[in-house]
Amino acid sequence: MSLHLQSYFRGNVYIIRCSGHITAGQAITTLEEALDMAEHEFTSIVLNLSEVTRMDSMGLGLLMRHFDRLSRRCGAIRLAAPQPFVTHLLNITKTCNSLHTFPTEEEAIESASTQTSPRQTQPAKHLKLLVFDPSADLCTFVHSVLCQHGFDVKTVCSLQDARILLIADQVDYILVGPGTPQLPSETAAVKLRSLAPKATALQLPPDFKCHDAIDATHKLLELFSLPTA
């Protein structure tokens, strides 16, 4: 199912009404283009998700990436009228601390008009984790989830950058994403493991990006033997 968007603005708030799936592929591209355009002039954005019926890890990663971008400008993304599965997803990933939800579009607009950017509270970080995958949205998704579970997460989309980080600093875990046909995850994992032999190297399954965000969150937490509830 494709993603359809309707946009308008009220005062200093830009509103995007979404209908369909927010998933990897054209839907992500469509939403990113709309967010990029909105962010040229606005720092307060409301996404109406009342008609969104599916979201995968790439979709949530996209939202968190733009949330982080707007936060640096003292702005925020607010979510209006999300379906129950979206609320559940935000709770299990603990991204609800960043992506605040409101029962109605009107309440989200009112909050965006009168409040400052919500500040994310994170637990103290202990275990160091390097995440490598060419997709910035997947890296952001993993970062958003595992930071909430006490990991000090660094993400890179370039294998060369990953090598530089591993040479400069020790990590406890290396997590390699599904990769690409040009750079299979097995090849990347072998190259990175050689630079950090004491680190635990883990790989996400090839179909990770195809899962709904809730399923992807469970698989990610299970990979690190973390509680999923």
Summarize pLDDT for 69-91 with one digit per residue, the tens.
999 999 999 999 999 999 999 99
Confidence of residue 133 (pLDDT cuts 50, 70, 90): very high
The whole-chain average pLDDT of the chain stands at: 92
pLDDT of 146: 94
pLDDT of 210: 86
Residues across the chain = 229
What structural domains and CATH numbers belong to the chain?
Answer: 3-114 (3.30.750.24), 127-223 (3.40.50.2300)
Summarize pLDDT for 8-52 with one digit per residue, the tens.
999 999 999 999 999 999 999 999 999 999 999 999 999 999 999
pLDDT of 227: 82
pLDDT of 200: 95
Find out whether 97 and 219 touch, Cβ atoms under 8 Å.
no
pLDDT of 125: 61
pLDDT of 185: 87
Confidence of residue 124 (pLDDT cuts 50, 70, 90): low
Strand partners, 132: 156, 176
In eight-state DSSP terms, residue 96 is: G
- The first and second tokens of residue 38, run together, are 């909105």
- With a CB cutoff of 8 Å and minimum separation 6, the contacts of 165 are 130, 154, 156, 171
Residue 117 has pLDDT above 60, yes or no: no
Summarize pLDDT for 151-162 with one digit per residue, the tens.
999 999 999 999
Burial of 5 (0-12, 13-18, 19+ CB in 10 A): middle
Confidence of residue 182 (pLDDT cuts 50, 70, 90): confident
Burial of 204 (0-12, 13-18, 19+ CB in 10 A): buried
Confidence of residue 184 (pLDDT cuts 50, 70, 90): confident
Find out whether 130 and 174 touch, Cβ atoms under 8 Å.
yes
